[in-house]
Amino acid sequence: MTQLERQQWDVVVVGAGGAGLRAAIEAREQGARTAVICKSLFGKAHTVMAEGGIAASMGNVNSGDNWQVHFRDTMRGGKFLNQWRMAELHAREAPDRVWELETWGALFDRTADGRISQRNFGGHEYPRLAHVGDRTGLELIRTLQQKIVSLQQDDKREFGDYEARLKVFQECTVTRVLKEDDRVSGAFCYERESGRFFVLEAPAVVLATGGIGKSFKVTSNSWEYTGDGHALALLAGAPLLNMEFVQFHPTGMVWPPSVKGILVTESVRGDGGVLRNSDGKRFMFDYVPDVFKEKYAESEEEGDRWYEDPDHNRRPPELLPRDEVARAINSEVKAGRGSPHGGVFLDVSTRMPAEVIRRRLPSMHHQFKELADVDITVEPMEVGPTCHYVMGGIAVESDTAAARGVPGLFAAGEVAGGMHGSNRLGGNSLSDLLVFGRRAGLHAAEYASALAGARPAVDEAQVDLAAAEALRPFSAEPQEGAAPENPYTLHQELQQAMNDLVGIIRRDAEMRQALEKLAELRVRARRAGVEGHRQFNPGWHLALDLRNMLLVSECVARAALERTESRGGHTREDWPAMDRSWRRANLLCRLADPTEGLAATDPVRGQIRLVREETEPIRADLLALFEKEELVKYLAEEELYE
């Protein structure tokens, strides 16, 4: 039996981004003793990178907005693949979640009458995004962080200890969710600073670890996005849903190489920026798909008038949902009409006075000035698609955020699947974090308190196995004459393979090739060795994260190969059309054989088993929000007549 520190908590939240912190606040306010555990320092989560805003139909700028319109936009953006109940809850609750932030000290930009200002964004019918310049994610994370501190101050007054009921374990990583039978009993963790192992015993674990972008080479995601929560859920026996849907944000920086992929916020287009190819043409007018034809301007003049008079004009096609814009840019570059560094031009300099640009897009101005030596007030930016978000994720119950099949496991935010369907609208991520973060915290706390004294016990054998697994990179030995593998090299090869073979445009043969490559990398990853000791050793940390990246990459590749259509964040060159019969199909990924360990090398069989499942029909009153002519484009015949 391994001797290590153990602590007892009611709820453990893994991840300290928007969803994790919101879950922790809710769980603590419900009375649960709550621990938050995160890989970075407290307040550094990837949520700070969100720029544009929080979508919520408060109707402050256009009073025509309401939750039904928001729901419609969300379903359209996701091409009707969304878990409709999640989309409904999200649209209904988002305004309350934003308003509540103000009571915790958030300072959004204001309208003239003192309300929260809202801005336009791709796919949203009305100005809907609450924002602070272009640093909304920072405002969100700081507000939640400060709310947590304020709850800790309450506890200090009451119990003399800041951490009596809410503690943040920063710079710690969870490598296994522990279970007794099928129920959650805790989490196995290590402290990055010291390498020390510890166990948090808790009946409820909320996964809020964000996305998987670090498996791709060109990405806007930070190093933390290694799919930890996805992998923890799989290993704990919970299924992942629709992992083939990966959003490539249309506008990432393309030059210089070291910053390739860093996000250029959609607000640039929302505020008037336009996309041009090397001929100077606004090419997006050529890429409006049929399902969106009536909603978008047909001429530059009409598009330009919309910024001033949105009620009598249609929006410019630069504001199509992200998947459409990303594919259009990809096609332009392939057709040889790209910019010098392989992107297209995004221009605000000819559209707004310099001082307006500096006021409305301060961090973009700063980012291009500092990193690319480009002054966006006088010259265009060069942009291209970058891996940004995974719509797929842990399959959860819509109302409770509970992971399917594993009592005590919850998931919220990017790591949870279903809410966004096949494609997420900009601004819906931050509201998703808040709405489902709160729900996950609420239901985790209720679950924990309902168990009372009958909590699952931690299985010592699992703790020993987890410790051995975490230590393996230090004892990696040459096998059959092969030298230990460098984890950095393995990671780079994985990123290259996913980028090239399971990227924005997908083909059958390439995805099969990707599965071969993943099988090879799995074998080599077993030999990943590290130098030095356990104290703050990034090589070791990466070696451990590789397990998670390989698992989720296989999910993406396998599900993408299976889905023979193009929809949202999944584009098949060999199946270019959206197929209505696929709308009701969800692809679930499960661990193929949890008992056999993770070394399965057979590329055909692999570690992941796919299950196809049919979704529940959309509730009639929600369907009634759409015109029949529109539904015909998405729904199969039999659904229409049900």
Please list every residue from 199 through 258 that binds another protein, using CB under 8 A: 222-224, 255-258
Distance (Å, rounded) from C-alpha 150 to C-alpha 573?
Answer: 52
Contacting another protein within 373-392 (CB under 8 A): 373
CB atoms within 10 A of CB 631: 15
Options 162, 285, 292, 474; binder of another protein; rule CB under 8 A: 162
10 Å Cβ neighbour count for 287? Answer: 18
C-beta of 153: minimal distance to another protein in Å?
Answer: 6
- Part in contact with another protein (CB under 8 A); list of ranges 2-10, 133-141, 327-335, 420-428: 133-141
Task: Pick the binder of another protein from 36, 49, 178, 470 (CB under 8 A).
Answer: 49
Quote the least distance from Cβ 254 to another protein, whole Å. 11
**530 contributes a contact to another protein by CB under 8 A:** yes
Min dist. Cβ of residue 262 to another protein (A): 5
The residues, ordered by sequence, that sit 6+ positions from 334 with a Cβ below 8 Å of its Cβ are none
For residue 370, the minimal CB distance to another protein (Å) is 5
| Closest to another protein by CB, 102 or 375 | 102
Tell me the residue ranges of DSSP E strands in 369-451: 381-390, 393-394, 409-411
Which is closer to another protein, CB of 110 or CB of 628?
110
Site residues for another protein, 298-357, by CB under 8 A, read none
Q: Is 269 a catalytic site residue?
A: yes
Q: Which of 39, 47, 74 is nearest to 171 (CA)?
A: 39
Which long-range contacts (C-beta less than 8 Å, at least 24 apart) are formed by 526-529? 526/472, 526/476, 526/599, 527/476, 527/477, 527/478, 527/479, 527/482, 527/483, 527/484, 527/485, 528/473, 528/476, 528/484, 528/485, 528/486, 528/487, 528/490, 529/473, 529/474, 529/476, 529/484, 529/485
User: Cβ of residue 538: shortest distance to another protein, in angstroms?
Assistant: 6
Among 55, 138, 344, 458, binds another protein (CB under 8 A): 138
CA distance 524 to 110: 54
16, 27, 48, 544: residue in contact with another protein (rule CB under 8 A): 48
* Residue 114 interacting with another protein (CB under 8 A): yes
Residues 302 and 128: their CA atoms lie apart, in Å, by 21
Give burial (CB, 10 Å; 0-12/13-18/19+) of 257: exposed
Query: Element (H or E) spanning 471, and its range?
Result: helix 460-471
**Using CB under 8 A as the criterion, what x/- string covers residues 256-295 for binding another protein?**
xxxx--xx--------------------------------
Point out which residues pair with 557 in neighbouring strands: none
Q: Does 100 bind another protein (CB under 8 A)?
A: yes
Cβ atoms of 338 and 140 within 8 Å: the answer is no
End-to-end CA distance of the chain: give it in Å, rounded: 58
- Residue written as tokens 């129920």? 183
**Considering 76, 269, 443, 455, which one is annotated as catalytic?**
269
Q: Applying CB under 8 A, which of residues 107, 468, 482, 625 lies at the interface with another protein?
A: 107
According to CB under 8 A, which residues from 417 to 446 bind another protein? Answer: none
- Residues between 24 and 43 that touch another protein (CB under 8 A): 40-43
- Chain positions 448 to 507 lying near another protein, rule: CB under 8 A, are 486-489, 492
Distance CA 230, CA 98 (A): 27
What span, in angstroms and rounded, lies between the C-alpha atoms of 64 and 44?
A: 37
- Whichever of 6 and 488 has its CB closer to another protein, that residue is 488
Residue 285 in contact with residue 298, Cβ under 8 Å?
Answer: yes
Q: How many residues bind another protein (CB under 8 A)?
A: 71
The nearest distance, CB 171 to another protein, in angstroms, is: 8
Q: Closest CB to another protein among 166 and 177?
A: 166
**Bridge partner residues of 169 (DSSP):** 37
Q: Please pick, from the candidates 29, 109, 493, 516, the single residue that binds another protein as defined by CB under 8 A.
A: 109
Smallest separation (angstroms) from another protein to the CB of 233: 23
Nearer to another protein, 189 or 236 (CB): 189
Asked if 535 interacts with another protein (CB under 8 A), we say: yes
Shortest separation between residue 270's beta carbon and another protein, angstroms: 19
Out of 5, 6, 96, 573, the residue judged to bind another protein by CB under 8 A: 96
From the list 8, 99, 337, 562, which residue makes contact with another protein (rule: CB under 8 A)? Answer: 99
Contacts of residue 332, Cβ cutoff 8 Å, sequence gap at least 6: 277, 283, 338, 344
Provide the 3-class DSSP secondary structure of residue 504: coil
In degrees and rounded to multiples of 5, residue 218 shows phi and psi of: -95, 110
Given the rule CB under 8 A, which of 71-79, 103-111, 416-424, 514-522 is the region that contacts another protein? 103-111
Q: Which of residues 556-595 bind another protein (CB under 8 A)?
A: none
- Report the nearest approach of another protein to the CB of residue 287 (Å): 28
Establish whether 249 is a catalytic residue.
Answer: yes
Does residue number 367 form part of the binding site for another protein (CB under 8 A)?
Answer: yes
Catalytic-labelled residue, pool 97, 176, 249, 455: 249
User: Which amino acid would we find at residue 9?
Assistant: W
Stretch that binds another protein, among 75-83, 130-138, 345-353, 568-576 (CB under 8 A): 130-138
Amino acid sitting at position 246: V
Q: Least Å distance between CB 497 and another protein?
A: 17
Q: Which residues form the catalytic set?
A: 249, 269
